[in-house]
A and B are shown apart, each in its own frame.
Chain A
Amino acid sequence: MSDEPMDDILRELRDELNGVRPSPEFAAKVRRQIEAQPARRWFGIWQVVTAGVAITIAAATVVVLQRTDTPIAVVPVPQVARVAPEPRPGVPASDSTAPLRGTTTVPSQKGGTRSAAIVRTTAQAGPEVLVPTDQRMALISLLDGMRKRGTQVPSATEPLVDSEGRLPVPAEIKLSPITIELLGPPIPGGGSRERR
């Protein structure tokens, strides 16, 4: 490829581009345009939109957190005998009388049954712990007292120390003498050892 024609062409391009100069009024025009620009407000439409979205998200977060933190009220549900609903004609009777998981059948005002009264409990998440009634009551009163910070919880060491805080003198421990009896001779014909 001969470079001479291309050089001529590019020289023409160079001459043409370098012949383009801004007019003497160019700088003044730029200044006028800058002057005509509206002053920037301290906020714009996007700032307003962004702030609105942020406030909405914050409000939704607060609502969700409040719902999560609200303790679920324990509603005592009376234990009643479940009454199987009368099968409607045409509908096969199945084991639909089995209670749904997490549902409790409660009596209706009219003596019938009202199905599927859903009681949400947190116990579903963990294992069920059975505590005797007296211990349960004690625990409830203890926890209630701790919440109110008004209940005097007896100290575990209170009965041991005296009024001056001294521990009682340990009592002498009496041990009965230990006697070691000799084992008897093995029983002839006996195959097994019997525990005496």
Chain B
Amino acid sequence: MNELAGHLDQPLTSVDDADVREFESRLADSSALAVRVAYSVVRNRQDAEDVAQEAFARAYRRFSSLRDRERFRAWLVRMTWRLALDHRRSHKRRQARDDAAMEITPQTGNLETDTIAAERKARLWAAIEELPDRLRVVTVLAAMEGHGISEVAALLGVAEGTIKSRLFEARQKLHERLR
């Protein structure tokens, strides 16, 4: 029995063994992607994990109905993004998240330098959050490791030219807000 099924006491009802094995593989491949997408919206690591966890649970429930398995990552990104937006709207930890954004993480050992870095980061995220949704998701996905234009286009299901123009527009808006 595979690893996932081994953790389950009762037999799976909607996903057969082959699907379970494939889902397990997708879970290993796409966990970081889902958590980062969620983090870019909720800006709290624990909340991001909760959102990504919920996204995977939903994906598992509907996995057997997903015909094009190659589109799993795109499917997961969309689902995670939506869940993260819902979470951010409704979650009670919103204020805590905003406070955490101002937390100064010691990185250089110099309090002044760390404070400046924290403020700059807070301004950056504030500027990203002001972007329209279509620009924000492109900016975040393009910033992730290993995501070129074609990868972002595939994840969002739009043309590469559209991604390029959206990135250009997002960059301009960020520049205006951060100068």
Chain A residues close to B by CB (< 8 Å): 1, 5-6, 9-10, 12-14, 16-18, 20-23, 26-35, 37, 39-40
Contact = CB atoms under 8 A, between A and B. Distances in A.
A40 B58 CA distance: 13
B32 A33 contact: no
Contact of A37 (B40, B57, B171): B57
B61 A20 contact: no
Contacts of B124: 9, 12-13
B4 interface: yes
Q: Chain A contact residues: over half helix, strand or loop, or mixed?
A: helix
B52 A34 contact: no
B81 interface: no
A20 B53 CA distance: 15
A35 B7 contact: yes
Nearest to B7: A31
A10 B125 CA distance: 11
B54 interface: yes
Contacts of B4: 31, 34
B154 interface: no
A29 B7 CA distance: 11
A138 B71 CA distance: 77
Interface stretch (B9-17, B84-92, B108-116, B157-165): B9-17
Nearest to A16: B121
B69 interface: no
Nearest to A14: B143
Interface of B: 4, 7-10, 13-14, 27-28, 31-32, 34-36, 39-40, 45, 48-49, 52-54, 56-57, 60-61, 120-121, 124, 128, 139-140, 143-145, 171-172, 174-175, 178-179
A30 B178 contact: no
A20 B61 CA distance: 26
9 contacts: A6-B174, A13-B143, A14-B143, A17-B140, A20-B39, A21-B32, A31-B7, A33-B56, A34-B56
B13 A39 contact: yes
B32 A6 contact: no
A16 B125 CA distance: 11
B144 A27 contact: no
B171 A6 contact: yes
A17 B175 contact: no
Contacts of A37: 57, 60-61
A35 B39 contact: no
Contacts of B39: 17, 20
A29 B60 CA distance: 13
Nearest to B145: A18
Nearest to A31: B7
A148 B176 CA distance: 93
B40 to A, nearest CB: 6
